[in-house]
Structure 1
Amino acid sequence: MITRPSPQPMATLSATPLPQPIDTCASRRLRDRAAIAAAGAVLVAVAATARAAPLDDLRALVEAGQAAEAYAAFCADPDLSARPREFDLWCGVAAVDLGRAGEGVLALERYVLQFPDDPRARLELARAYFHAGDNVRAREEFEAVAKEQPPPDVQAGIDRYLAALEAREGRYRTRTAAYVEAGAGYDSNANAGVAQADIGLPVLGPVTVADVGVRQASAFGWLAAAGRIDHPVAPGWSVNGSGYASGTFYADASEFNLASFGAALGGSYNAKGNLYTLSYAHSEILLDGSRYRWTDGLGFEWRRQLSEQTSLALIPQYARLAYSGENAARNADLYAFSVAYRRVWLMPWHPVLNATAFYGDEHNREDRDDLGRTLYGGAVDVTVSPSPFWAINAGVGYVESRYQAPIPLLEVTRRDRNLTLTLGALYLISARWSVRAEYQYAHNAANLELFEYSRHVGAVKVRYEFK
């Protein structure tokens, strides 16, 4: 699943031409050598070009995403008088990209004071304010550039920064968000069934699986909606509520139609780079219109902002799982613990890495240890934004399940290894409309043939967001 991308560096505006430095020493010499004025003029031009060359090299390195090299070569000298004022623009951008937002703000402010009509500089200054946490000034600068009617790709980038600012401002003002979504796709194995009916099992030998357990492919339609409200109650403290509903409707396997809905309530405290969140959630799944499973859970999260680009979270959770009808034998209590890491790079394509590792114990409440299990695994995904309109995501996940007792009759303890691969692409049509293409491959390997399957799912979804 791909999410709306995080803000990324702006596309290049047509910046005001930078003034070239003047070789004043050569000029003084020429005053006493009027007889060779033509030759002196050539010397001036050569000297100006020589001083312009480092500026061109600095700009080329920054725009190529080599901020560290650019900073070390041209910006590390603390003596500001030793470099032309035009260096402040690109040294400021390099500093921001390296996570030195405060230093970048100072450099860009110096440049904007000298060249207030340079739109690229104003845009980079807005970005620097954003990464420095100065929300008010960042909004002022982004909105000022937006009033100049920049190109569509630049405006799309500004809109994404403004959306991120709205999320931040939720810390001190009530914020609401909602969306509706519709789509269609194809599932090669809607019921996660075995590839063929005739299989072999321990003790029982050759058996034939009923049709309901054999792979069924189908096209499907998709509908979803969700909403959330965050309300601050004191400095650093806020409460929130959310709800969602979704449905998958198969054309050729309607008995596996799925509907899910849920709601959550919680609160959070944010202070000194630490975010603490406590929440309660209830969710339900309907299978072919009948209640199949419902869950009540408590979750706690401690997220530590390690730097401007990285964060680490520890997430203990508890969930009470309940099933209806003959599936009630699966009723269980799930205890889980996760560690999540996030890293953002301030460079072209603005890559974002998310990595998660988890361990869980699903304890069966009906004395059916063969249905209880321990599970562990992890997931990694990377999102890049080639332009302000596009985001591309790829991920991989692995879950291993070890059941806690042999299955009756088969005298074998089940063990599963589930691998998933995902690809996605998001296109922002406007600030409210987006379209997303998704693909997922899943393979479940098991020590019992009855539980082995592979699955390919592809879909295209259109979303409208209420802002």
Structure 2
Amino acid sequence: MTNRWTQLHFLPALLLACALLPSPPARADEDDTRYLLDQAGRIGRQRDGGAGALAPHPGGLVLTIEGRAYRVNPTLQDLEPALYVAINRGQWGEARALADSYRRLAGHKPHLVLLADGLAARAEGDYGRAIGLLEDARDDAPGDARTQMELARAYAEDGQDRESRALFEQAIGNSLPPDTRQLLQSYVDAVDRRGDWQGSIAVGRGRNDNINQANGFEQCSMYFLTLCLARLKLPDPIASSFTSYDLVLSRRIALAGHHNLLLRPVSYGTFYQETAPEGRAIEDYSQQTHVLYAGYQYADARQKFSLLPFMELYARDGHTHYQAPGLQAEWSRELTPGLRLTAQASLKRYAYKEQDSRYFSDYTQKAAGLGIAWMPTASTSLQAGIDFTRRKYPMPTESGKDLAVRAGVFHAFGQSGAFVNLLALYRISRNDERDFFLGVRRRDEQQLYIATLGSTRLSVWGVHPELRFKHVVNHSNSIFYGYSQNEISLQLRKNF
């Protein structure tokens, strides 16, 4: 009788004490936000979209077309059409050599030489020099539709959408064949689409075997001789089916040149069917996260930088748990075609709301990370990164640091439409000082794995299925925070 009484009255006090502790440092909502943004960024990048050697020849130059060599005499009549052929076929070595001979002749067209040199520079990725040469070609021959079109394309590839659109429309206004006008209009439409809302939306059903991140730990906490007077019993894992959704949107509003306004709303949530027994610190583990990023972006052909103030709102147990205003800086650079380096830094202030403000301390979080992404083929992308996070609470026993490494791979299987997206993360978290209640200086090691399988071939009205597996295991030197969790869900997703 005494043993049962002490067990029932000790547990509520223990749960209240646990509720007074800060939330675990390894926050699942932040991992999900990064996963969704990385996925949306990959989809956006996918949307955006053989030269022979030229050798001296007695009496002229040689232009190679489909394996056959054609002699080009050093005259205006031969060099000018040959130069256009080399440009149209993307044979830049030959185009440069032909342009070098062409510019020496009296009566040559300067804009054609500038056009060839500018397009060759663009093919090498030197957009600054390419645009400068193409602008000179445009100024030399303002009415030349080909020069206008190529300069407009270079503007578009370099992220200067306003300038690109204006020049495409100017070129369309010329007297052109219908097929050419249709081609130019397709470029205008492509530029306009880059300024439209892009993103993805998904809804799904699934099951999670541990929605409360519990471990069911139990031991005798007080003995009298061999009699257990009080037992420590932590909650058991609660399994539940759920309904989930996620929505990621992005819109780039071109201002001038490489400068843009970037809007990026993110929202996702999980609604569990099961709840915890009445009287627990948390009864309804359903949760929603909403983040709105809005700020400045610089974008050119090789580099992007954004500075985004944001507001994050996280709700659980039927009410707002916290609000977190912050500032995020992002930078990426294409080192080579298919190889991209990224960096990110953020500052966020967590402010707990409603009844949670009585149990949780507001705190500041600073984070920084580096990443690299590589696309060895058009259907495969690999990524890896390292992130450091600093959490600063009023009390040093609650403050701590996180160090995380992550790796992922995406692969599409040819024409089948099937794809796989894998993510693995390992995080070490450590508090600054020993906590008297826990009896230790808390240290956690967390592993997170997400695998998504899907097929666009099975899409209906643009909606395709995705099967998602998620596994989390958190090892902690405190009995209150160790747990493992498995989740499986079937989602229907539409990218746009």
- TM normalised by structure 2 equals 0.59
1:209 aligns to 2:233 (yes or no): yes
Quote the residue 1:432 is aligned against.
462
Taking the aligned partners of 1:292 and 1:85, their CA distance within structure 2 comes to 67
Identity %: 15
- Give the direction of change, closer, same or farther, for the CA distance of 1:305–1:180 in structure 2 (3 Å limit): closer
What is the Cα deviation at residue 234 of structure 1? Answer: 0.4
Report the number of matched residues. Answer: 339
Taking the aligned partners of 1:293 and 1:167, their CA distance within structure 2 comes to 42
Taking the aligned partners of 1:234 and 1:82, their CA distance within structure 2 comes to 41
The code of the aligned residue for 2:489 comes to A
1:285 aligns to 2:327 (yes or no): no
Say if 2:217 and 2:479, in contact at 8 Å, map to a contact too. Answer: no
The code of the aligned residue for 1:331 comes to D
1:219-230 alignment runs, 5 A limit? 219-230=241-252
SS of residue matched to 1:451:
coil
Taking the aligned partners of 1:167 and 1:406, their CA distance within structure 2 comes to 60
1:289-328 alignment runs, 5 A limit? 289-324=318-353, 325-326=355-356, 328=359
Taking the aligned partners of 1:87 and 1:380, their CA distance within structure 2 comes to 48
Taking the aligned partners of 1:167 and 1:360, their CA distance within structure 2 comes to 42
Taking the aligned partners of 1:397 and 1:359, their CA distance within structure 2 comes to 13
Say if 2:438 and 2:478, in contact at 8 Å, map to a contact too. Answer: no
Taking the aligned partners of 2:472 and 2:260, their CA distance within structure 1 comes to 38
Taking the aligned partners of 2:317 and 2:266, their CA distance within structure 1 comes to 19
1:270 aligns to 2:299 (yes or no): yes
Q: Pick from 209, 218, 221: which aligns with 1:198?
A: 218
Quote the residue 2:267 is aligned against.
245
What is the Cα deviation at residue 391 of structure 1? Answer: 1.8
- Give the direction of change, closer, same or farther, for the CA distance of 1:234–1:417 in structure 2 (3 Å limit): same
What is the Cα deviation at residue 332 of structure 1? Answer: 0.9
| C-alpha distance after superposition, 1:236-265 (max 9, x if no partner) | 000022323332111123711112222121
| C-alpha distance after superposition, 1:442-462 (max 9, x if no partner) | 110111222110111111111
| C-alpha distance after superposition, 1:391-412 (max 9, x if no partner) | 2112210111101122223431
The code of the aligned residue for 2:254 comes to P
Quote the residue 1:452 is aligned against.
482
1:420 aligns to 2:448 (yes or no): yes
- Give the direction of change, closer, same or farther, for the CA distance of 1:85–1:399 in structure 2 (3 Å limit): same
- Give the direction of change, closer, same or farther, for the CA distance of 1:326–1:246 in structure 2 (3 Å limit): closer
Say if 1:173 and 1:232, in contact at 8 Å, map to a contact too. Answer: no
- Give the direction of change, closer, same or farther, for the CA distance of 1:371–1:268 in structure 2 (3 Å limit): same
| C-alpha distance after superposition, 1:189-221 (max 9, x if no partner) | 111111x2404889xx9852343xx21111111
1:340 aligns to 2:361 (yes or no): no
1:12-27 alignment runs, 5 A limit? none
Quote the residue 2:422 is aligned against.
394
What is the Cα deviation at residue 270 of structure 1? Answer: 2.1
Quote the residue 2:196 is aligned against.
175
| C-alpha distance after superposition, 1:97-122 (max 9, x if no partner) | xxxxx9996269x9xxxxxxxxxxxx
1:32-431 alignment runs, 5 A limit? 85=66, 106=90, 169=191, 174-177=195-198, 179-194=200-215, 196-199=216-219, 207-211=231-235, 214-253=236-275, 255-271=284-300, 273-324=302-353, 325-326=355-356, 328-345=359-376, 347=377, 350-365=379-394, 367=395, 369-388=396-415, 389-428=417-456, 429=459
- Give the direction of change, closer, same or farther, for the CA distance of 1:435–1:201 in structure 2 (3 Å limit): farther
SS of residue matched to 1:418:
strand
The code of the aligned residue for 2:233 comes to V
SS of residue matched to 2:433:
strand
Taking the aligned partners of 1:406 and 1:317, their CA distance within structure 2 comes to 27
What is the Cα deviation at residue 132 of structure 1? Answer: 11
- Give the direction of change, closer, same or farther, for the CA distance of 1:260–1:167 in structure 2 (3 Å limit): farther
Q: Which has the higher contact order (CA 8 A, sep 6+)?
A: 1
Taking the aligned partners of 1:281 and 1:352, their CA distance within structure 2 comes to 29
What is the Cα deviation at residue 326 of structure 1? Answer: 4.5
SS of residue matched to 2:284:
helix
What is the Cα deviation at residue 287 of structure 1? Answer: 1.0
What is the Cα deviation at residue 302 of structure 1? Answer: 2.0
The code of the aligned residue for 1:230 comes to R
Taking the aligned partners of 1:344 and 1:206, their CA distance within structure 2 comes to 59
The code of the aligned residue for 1:192 comes to Q
The code of the aligned residue for 1:413 comes to R
- Give the direction of change, closer, same or farther, for the CA distance of 1:168–1:351 in structure 2 (3 Å limit): farther
Taking the aligned partners of 1:235 and 1:312, their CA distance within structure 2 comes to 23
Quote the residue 1:59 is aligned against.
none
Quote the residue 2:105 is aligned against.
none
Q: CA RMSD in A?
A: 4.2
Whose Rg is larger?
A: 2
The code of the aligned residue for 1:424 comes to T
- Give the direction of change, closer, same or farther, for the CA distance of 1:232–1:83 in structure 2 (3 Å limit): closer
Structure 1, gaps ≥5 residues long: 9-70, 89-101, 111-127, 140-164
The code of the aligned residue for 1:176 comes to W
Structure 2, gaps ≥5 residues long: 1-34, 56-60, 70-85, 95-121, 128-149, 157-186, 223-228, 276-282
Quote the residue 1:116 is aligned against.
none
- Give the direction of change, closer, same or farther, for the CA distance of 1:342–1:169 in structure 2 (3 Å limit): farther
- TM normalised by structure 1 equals 0.62
Taking the aligned partners of 2:88 and 2:300, their CA distance within structure 1 comes to 24
Say if 2:203 and 2:246, in contact at 8 Å, map to a contact too. Answer: yes
Taking the aligned partners of 1:201 and 1:228, their CA distance within structure 2 comes to 53
